[in-house]
Amino acid sequence: MRPFILILSVVGLLAAPIAPAAAAAPYCGITWGSQPVTLPTHGEGGLVDVRTGRHECFDRVVFDIEGARPSALVRYADQITTDGEGAVVPLRGGAFLEVVSAVVPGAPDSDDLLGCEVGDEMADVAGYRTLREVAYAGFFEGQVTIGIGVRARLPYRVFTLPGPGARSRLVIDVAHRW
C-alpha cells in the first residue's frame, strides 16, 4: 500500500497548480524608460533660468523659457560634446543625459548662456540622490546643448508645461532607481 500512496502523493504534487511569480511593483509607480525622448516643435524661446528639485522618487531639472515651448531631444549619451567642435564636456556621474533644445541664449551669437560658458555648472545639485551635475555644453546653429550627469543610467521622463505668464518650462525627471 505504501508505494501506491507515495505515487499518488508525487502525482498530486506535480499536478498542483503553480502560481506565477509575482511581478515586482515598479519603484514608486514609475513606468518611465531610458530611451530617447523627442518633443515636437512649438516655437522658439529664450532660456531664462535652470532650477532643480528633489522629490521622494526622483530628482528634477526645470528649464524656464521665455516664450513658446521649444522642441527638445533628450537621450543618454556616452559623453557630452559641444556641437560644431566636438569637444568633450566633462561631467560628474556614471551616465549622461544630453539635452538638445531650440532655446536660445541671451545673445544669439554668443556661447554665453545665463552667465555660463561651455562646461560651467548651471545648477547646484550637491547632495542630490540622482543628479550629479547640470552643465552648459554650448549653442550652435539655433540649438542649445546641456549635459546632465546622473548617478547611473536610470529611467527618466521629459515634458513641457505652459506658464507662468508667457513662459514655458521644459521638465526632466530622473528616477532614483529602476
Percent of the chain scoring above 70 in pLDDT: 80
CA-CA distance, 62 to 99, in Å (whole number)?
12
Of 69, 74, 75, which is closest to residue 102 (Cα–Cα)?
69
List domains and CATH numbers for the chain: 2-175 (2.60.40.3500)
pLDDT at 18 over 80: no
pLDDT at 31: 95
pLDDT at 21: 52
Of 169, 164, 172, which is closest to residue 146 (Cα–Cα)?
172
pLDDT at 5 over 80: no
Residue 155 binned pLDDT confidence (cut-offs 50, 70, 90): very high
pLDDT at 29 over 80: yes
The set of residues, in sequence order, having a beta carbon less than 8 Å from that of 112 and lying 6+ positions away, is 105, 106
CA-CA distance, 53 to 55, in Å (whole number)?
7
* pLDDT tens for each residue of 91-142: 999 999 999 998 876 544 455 677 888 999 999 999 999 999 999 999 888 8
Average pLDDT, the chain: 85
Compute the chain's Rg from CA coordinates.
Answer: 24
Greater confidence (167 vs 104) lies with 167
Greater confidence (59 vs 40) lies with 59
Residue 42 binned pLDDT confidence (cut-offs 50, 70, 90): low
pLDDT at 36: 97
What number is the average pLDDT over the span 60-77?
91
- 39 phi and psi angles, rounded to 5 deg: -105, 135
pLDDT at 65 over 50: yes
Q: Is 157 exposed, middle or buried (0-12, 13-18, 19+ CB in 10 A)?
A: middle
pTM of the model: 0.82
Judge whether 47 and 103 are in contact, CB under 8 Å: yes
pLDDT at 140: 86
Greater confidence (54 vs 103) lies with 54
Please tell me the chain's helix, strand, coil percentages from 3-state DSSP, rounded to the nearest 5: 10, 45, 45
